[in-house]
């Protein structure tokens, strides 16, 4: 009898263990970019594969790229399990792109005293064209993002008017006001409170069982961590400097192969990143102009005028390079100012001296003897004679006879014979 009771207890325990609920969790801190979109897509698939009740995305972001945001929204729409965006901890924010992501989730939750809003788009792409054209492009982008967030809010039965105002008027609000305005579903103090309030909610005819559920965090893999660090404006800016320094270093010292190789590799990486990050074409043109001005000053006696212009062009180009980027993808002055100083010094002291050295006349060797003056060691005529130079006695010929001790000027070299002429006072 005891044997059967033992088996029953073990069976019940095993059944409970097998049927224990599990919830997936990922944490997004920082700007939304390609790595974030890839991470969320993989986490949704992983949570569905391990039969999680839902996937919780704990979010704290200033914003990010619109294209990556679109990919995340599409991932939420296609997810086979419920997605829960939790703006947490207290003090966290869902700004710009974070608004789209929060509203697109099946359940939108915020921690107390967190904030959401200010989703007005920043134009992405080239600038510097006519003002009228810029205004038209801004209006087109605003209209697109406005309709995009309206469709999200309408699909999730949330406040469409507030969502539109977050884009058009950059409206932002607190978690408490967002709950009253039907922007989010509820407020949760912490993760256990979130699981408690999620319990019993129905999705596709199935009620969630999240009370006491095991929370399993899905970490970033190695490639996602690398991409998050690599696909950054700061990294692309450093690579651009490596392109400039490498190629210019190779031109100023043709025998040093390493700078050219490094510059070529960096150039390929920059081209790859420019297709992903929101690069401003005007900024690139100004940086290219700066390089041209630096090089021109090497060959032109302008007393530094072109170098000063190059420094100004480089600074403005770096300022504009990511000026149209969304929050979290800009380039700060802490990077721009040192880079401008370093680049100017590089062209003055490295490239300038290296290129000028290539065009200087030879200072040593046979060619360096041409133009020098020496005294004749013996009588020199068309048949020959002797001079002493560079610690050696050389054969010398002269069309005009020269007497011993007379000063002659070396005018040419043929084989081992110097051509000289009398040096007139």
List Cβ neighbours of 244 (8 Å cut-off, separation of 6 or more): 263, 291, 343
Residue 369: pLDDT over 80: no
The percentage of residues in the chain with a pLDDT greater than 70, rounded to a whole number, is: 83
Residue 175: pLDDT over 80: yes
Q: How many Cβ atoms are within 10 Å of 175's Cβ, its own excluded?
A: 24
- Judged by average pLDDT, the poorest of 135-149, 195-209, 354-368, 375-389 is 354-368
Give 184-211 as a DSSP string: SSEE-SSHHHHHHHHTT-EETTEE---T
Which residue blocks in 90-130 are alpha helix, DSSP H?
A: 97-104
Residue 47: pLDDT over 60: yes
Would you state the pLDDT for residue 205? 83
Query: Which token pair is 377?
Result: 């060691």
Q: 227 falls in which pLDDT band (50, 70, 90)?
A: confident
Task: Look at 6 and 80; give whichever has higher pLDDT.
Answer: 80
What is the end-to-end Cα distance of the chain in Å, rounded? 132
Predicted TM-score (pTM) of the model is: 0.70
Q: How many Cβ atoms are within 10 Å of 210's Cβ, its own excluded?
A: 25
The residue-averaged pLDDT of 32-55 equals 94
The residue-averaged pLDDT of 357-378 equals 68
Condensed to tens digits (0 to 9), the pLDDT of residues 318-342 reads 988 886 556 666 788 888 999 999 9
Would you state the pLDDT for residue 131? 43
Query: Which token pair is 73?
Result: 């929204």
Would you state the pLDDT for residue 357? 52
How far is 78 from 84, CA to CA, in rounded Å?
Answer: 14
Q: If you ran DSSP here, which 8-state letter would residue 384 be given?
A: B
How far is 50 from 192, CA to CA, in rounded Å?
Answer: 21
Q: 128 falls in which pLDDT band (50, 70, 90)?
A: very low
Give the three-class secondary structure for 181: coil
Task: Look at 71 and 327; give whichever has higher pLDDT.
Answer: 71
**Highest averaged pLDDT of the listed ranges 128-142, 247-261, 377-391:** 377-391
Condensed to tens digits (0 to 9), the pLDDT of residues 24-34 reads 999 999 889 88
Average pLDDT in the chain: 83
Query: Which token pair is 348?
Result: 């003055």
Torsion of Cα atoms, 118 then 325 then 55 then 208, to 10°: 30
Would you state the pLDDT for residue 326? 62
Residue 80 vs residues 6, 208, 210, 217, 407: alpha-carbon distances, Å: 39, 14, 17, 18, 98
Task: Look at 398 and 42; give whichever has higher pLDDT.
Answer: 42
Would you state the pLDDT for residue 20? 67
Residue 283: pLDDT over 50: yes
Would you state the pLDDT for residue 9? 42
Sketch out the chain's domains with CATH numbers: 20-226 (3.90.226.10), 232-355 (no CATH), 366-422 (2.40.50.140)
Q: Token match 């005819």: residue? A: 205
Nearest alpha carbon to residue 331 among 229, 208, 235, 191: 235
Residue 358: pLDDT over 80: no
List Cβ neighbours of 146 (8 Å cut-off, separation of 6 or more): 164, 167, 168
Residue 215: pLDDT over 60: yes
Q: Assess contact for 411 and 389: CB atoms under 8 A.
A: no
Residue 355: pLDDT over 60: no
Q: 122 falls in which pLDDT band (50, 70, 90)?
A: low
What is the arrangement of strands in the sheet containing 93-95, beginning at the earlier edge strand?
Answer: 93-95, 115-117, 172-174
Condensed to tens digits (0 to 9), the pLDDT of residues 296-307 reads 876 776 667 888
The residue-averaged pLDDT of 192-209 equals 91
The percentage of residues in the chain with a pLDDT greater than 90, rounded to a whole number, is: 41
For residue 207, how many C-alpha atoms fall within 13 Å in the half-sphere facing its CB? 6
């Amino acid at each position: 009898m005891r044997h059967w009771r033992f088996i029953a207890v073990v069976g019940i325990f095993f059944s409970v263990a097998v049927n224990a609920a599990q919830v997936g969790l990922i944490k997004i801190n920082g700007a939304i970019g390609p790595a974030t979109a890839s991470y969320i897509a993989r986490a949704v698939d992983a949570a569905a594969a391990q039969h999680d009740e839902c996937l919780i995305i704990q979010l704290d972001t200033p914003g990010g790229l619109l294209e990556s945001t679109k990919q995340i929204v599409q991932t939420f729409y296609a997810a086979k399990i419920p997605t829960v965006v939790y703006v947490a901890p207290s003090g966290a924010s869902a700004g710009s792109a974070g608004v789209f992501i929060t509203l697109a989730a099946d359940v939108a939750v915020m921690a107390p005293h967190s904030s959401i809003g200010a989703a007005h788009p920043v134009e992405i792409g080239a600038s510097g064209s006519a003002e009228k054209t810029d205004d038209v492009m801004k209006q087109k982008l605003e209209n697109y993002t406005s309709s995009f967030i309206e469709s999200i809010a309408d699909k999730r039965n949330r406040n469409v008017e507030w969502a539109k105002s977050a884009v058009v008027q950059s409206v932002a609000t607190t978690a408490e006001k967002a709950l009253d305005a039907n922007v989010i579903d509820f407020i949760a103090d912490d993760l256990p409170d979130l699981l408690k309030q999620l319990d019993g909610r129905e999705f596709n005819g199935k009620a969630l069982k999240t009370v006491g559920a095991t929370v399993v965090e899905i970490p970033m893999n190695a490639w996602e961590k690398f991409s998050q660090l690599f696909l950054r404006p700061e990294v692309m800016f450093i690579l651009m400097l490596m392109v400039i320094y490498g190629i210019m270093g190779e031109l100023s010292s043709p025998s040093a192969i390493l700078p050219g190789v490094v510059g070529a590799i960096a150039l390929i990486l920059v081209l790859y990143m420019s297709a992903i990050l929101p690069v401003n074409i005007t900024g690139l043109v100004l940086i290219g102009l700066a390089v041209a001005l630096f090089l021109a000053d090497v060959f032109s006696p302008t007393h530094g005028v072109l170098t000063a212009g190059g420094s100004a062009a480089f600074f403005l180009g770096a300022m504009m390079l990511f000026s149209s980027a969304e929050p979290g993808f800009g380039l700060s002055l802490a990077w721009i100012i040192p880079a401008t100083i370093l680049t100017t010094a590089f062209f003055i002291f490295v490239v300038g001296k290296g290129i000028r050295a290539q065009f200087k006349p030879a200072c040593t060797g046979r060619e360096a003897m041409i133009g020098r003056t020496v005294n004749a060691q013996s009588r020199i005529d068309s048949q020959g004679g002797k001079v002493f130079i560079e610690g050696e006695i050389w054969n010398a010929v002269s069309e005009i006879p020269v007497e011993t001790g007379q000063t002659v000027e070396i005018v040419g070299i043929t084989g081992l014979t110097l051509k000289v002429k009398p040096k007139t006072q």
